[in-house]
Structure 1
Amino acid sequence: MKLLLIHTGGTIGMAETPEGLAPLKGLVEEAIAARLPAGTALTADVFEPLLDSADVGRIHWNRMLETVRNHQDAAVIITHGTDTMAFTGAALSQALAGENRRVILCGSMLPLGHAGDAEANLDLAISAAQGQEPGVFLAFAGKLLSADGLVKHQSHDADAFRSQPQAMPSPPKRSIFEDRKLAILTLSPGIPAEALKAILDTLDGAVLRIFGAGTAMNDPEILQVLAAAVKGGKRLRAVSQCEAGGLSPGAYAAGAGLWSAGIENGGMQTPEAALVHLWLN
């Protein structure tokens, strides 16, 4: 077996320093190499500098995609911090749709060597990398989760992730993440229309986290801001603020003004998946 390791950083590869936990080059690579089946050829692409996942974005997704595509005959494990794992899972799942690749994401809540979850997660990732089903998956807490709809629902426990069902992604219109100004915005009671307009004026598009099954405040000023943004060529895609269940446009009259403004229906998409959709389509 040929195995490609892309080590981006994160808690799994940290060690104690006088200033606290910090990334240590070589830690993950050695742990992977020690666990591989005999005869496995390992290739490692290690980010320099190693990243806290809070700093991961489109440039790093593009690097991961380029490396994966340059190793067509290799199984792939990507080690990554947990805080933006859901964004990277959605990014790789949608960007690689139709390319028949299998990618295993892996991270941990405690570093290697700290009697936590890191070693077991790596063991699961190595086992999962030998599978045949295409897709992007997360090896975490004894489970192999589809990475297209990840939700980090716990900030401390080892069982930190769930995966929400997503529609099967079609091959995207773009194969990489271009330099676009996109953001996730949350509608909340009392949000000023002028504040919403000010941020939308700086963006190429946005994901709107709206209420429940698809409602929003019936505020004429806010609805006018949203309609003007869409008319001006900005793509606005709505998702639910609820973790599960998705949107059902038309179910409530309170959403009529929102949908008439031309907002896209994100359906069951997580905010992360909807943001990636805007980036790639």
Structure 2
Amino acid sequence: MVCLLRRPLYGLKQAPRAWFERFASVVTAAGFSPSAHDPTLFVHTSPRGRTLLLLYVDDMIITGDDSEYIAFVKSRLRDQFVMTDLGPLRYFLGIEVSSTSDDFYISQEKYIHDLLVRAALGDERTVETPMELNVKLQLTDGDPLPDPTRYRHLVGSLVYLAITRPDISYPVHILSQFVYAPTTVHYSHLLCVLRYLHGTITRRLFFPCSSSLQLQCYSDATWASDPSDCRSLSAYCVFLGGSLIAWKTKKQTTVSRSSVEAELRAMALLTAEVTWLR
């Protein structure tokens, strides 16, 4: 009977959808409305302020101006689900949050530490930069790894780490292009990124409470930087006041025939991001 119960709860394809519909019906009855930009973000607005509820599977963040309504929502959720209130936000999906009366900090220090343990570097060396300047890696560099599983696992972990570490966005973008057939040269550059993280494990993103609500955006592009297909690279970052809130490094989908064309494609990518943010 236990196996039959676990099967419909966790083993069926429709289980996640059924769970989300059940949860959404409860919070909607409590006064929330789903956001048009993210279906897992629920918003409640009243004369006393705005309340936000963000859901990821069965973990959630509740924040807002109306403390009385937040207490009411918690009470309604306890009536419907077995729920644990962990207090002020400190840790969520591998992301650490610390705050004072004037600012917030976001980091993944524990995540980096666990990643370095899994990588088993074998020494305590550190480097100043995650990747050397003007490195152009190719599929044929070095000898193929006999077992690429570790390389794929570490690069996948770095992709998630880039959520709070924009300084590794570019090298992760480069290394992720070789997960299909990594070589010893690619793996050596991966170890360089890990040694850089070992020396900068305490770095955090800073969000001051006094920051303005004005968006400032910057974009850049490299022209025909990939020797294998001559495609260019787009990159951008977006600040809300003095806080970095969005960034991306992405290879362009078509070949740009001039540096101006590459720059315009990067600006178009940034414009789409800013339109969504606004």
Q: TM-score, length-normalised on structure 1?
A: 0.27
Q: Which of the two has higher C-alpha Rg?
A: 2
TM-score (norm 2): 0.27
